[in-house]
Structure 1
Amino acid sequence: MCTVDILQIIREPVWFIECETLIPAGFPSPAEDERGQPIDLNKILLPHPTHTYLARVNGLSMDGPPSHIPDGALLAIDCSLKPQVGHIVVAAVDGEFTVKRLEKRGSTYWLVPDNPAHTAIEVRGKDHVKVWGVVTHVVTEMINGQLNHHVRTRRLQ
């Protein structure tokens, strides 16, 4: 099972300079030397600050296509959004948090992993599964070790 640890976050602006030139993932092209306006990552990742949390993924059940969410990634979870079929959600299954894709098969809802090596979880009612929030963004570390040094975790009870 892929679990999540809810993180404490500082809700102060985090400013970056946005590059207005698109960066192609194919062949390189000349980039302009112009810099864009500063952007605030809090406004992007935490649009509803009192209802949005960051969590770290623990496990491999979502590392397959289409989401490719690796172990250790940070998730922005918005608890004010209504979960819909196809959304990646954080749910409490028998009191334990997990991250899965919400699907409907016939009249039954399922929490489905993107990694086929893991099994889906049938939603058998609110006592068994409670969808806690919708994953809106994933922050993946490309150089191992830096994110763990700057983000501390604590488990919510």
Structure 2
Amino acid sequence: MATVDILQVARHPVWIIECETPVPAGFPSPAQDHHGPKIDLNQILLPHPDCTYLARVNGTSMDGPPSHIPDGALLAVDCSLKPEHGHVVVAAVDGEFTLKRLEKRGKDFWLVPDNPAHQPVDLGLLGHFEVWGVATHAVIELINGKLHEHVRTRRLQ
């Protein structure tokens, strides 16, 4: 199962410089030094700052296709969006947070993992659940260690 820890967010701008030259994923081509405008990551990841939070994924239930969200990823979760079929959502199920894809099957909604090794959950069979928000972005680490060094988690009670 993939669970989430809710993180505190610094609300001041986080600026990066955008490279205007596309970065091909195939054979590299010689590139000139092209620098674009500054981009505020908060505007991209947290477009509704009063309704968006960051969460860290714990577990492997969402590491399969199509989302490929690995253990340790940071998620931007927007509470202002209405959850719809196909959205990846953070839900509270029996007092525990979980990350799953929301699917409508017939008249029922299910929480479905992207990793086939995990079982889907029929929401009609649950006593209590609540969708806390829609995951809009995932930040993953390509070099182990740095993301965990700079982001501390705390559990909500």
Same fold? TM cut 0.5: yes
After TM superposition, give the deviation of residue 126 of structure 1 in Å. 8.3
Letter of the 1:105 partner, please give it.
Answer: R
Distance 2:31 2:134 in 1: 36
After TM superposition, give the deviation of residue 21 of structure 1 in Å. 0.9
The aligned residue for residue 119 of structure 1 is 119
Is 1:58 matched with 2:62?
no
How well do the aligned residues superpose, as a CA RMSD in angstroms?
1.2
Q: Residue 4 of structure 2: SS of its match in structure 1?
A: strand
Is 1:73 matched with 2:60?
no
The aligned residue for residue 110 of structure 1 is 110
After TM superposition, give the deviation of residue 32 of structure 1 in Å. 2.3
Distance 1:127 1:16 in 2: 45
Distance 1:135 1:127 in 2: 24
Distance 1:17 1:130 in 2: 38
The aligned residue for residue 135 of structure 1 is 135
Q: Residue 47 of structure 1: SS of its match in structure 2?
A: coil
The aligned residue for residue 30 of structure 2 is 30
TM-score (norm 2): 0.97
The aligned residue for residue 82 of structure 2 is 82
TM-score (norm 1): 0.97
Is 1:18 matched with 2:5?
no
The aligned residue for residue 144 of structure 2 is 144
Distance 1:90 1:155 in 2: 14
The aligned residue for residue 42 of structure 1 is 42
| Identical aligned residues as a percent | 73
Between 1:27-36 and 1:100-109, the stretch displaced more is 27-36
Distance change >3 Å, CA 35–CA 87, structure 1 → 2? same
Letter of the 1:20 partner, please give it.
Answer: E
Structure 1 gaps, min length 5: none
Structure 2 gaps, min length 5: none
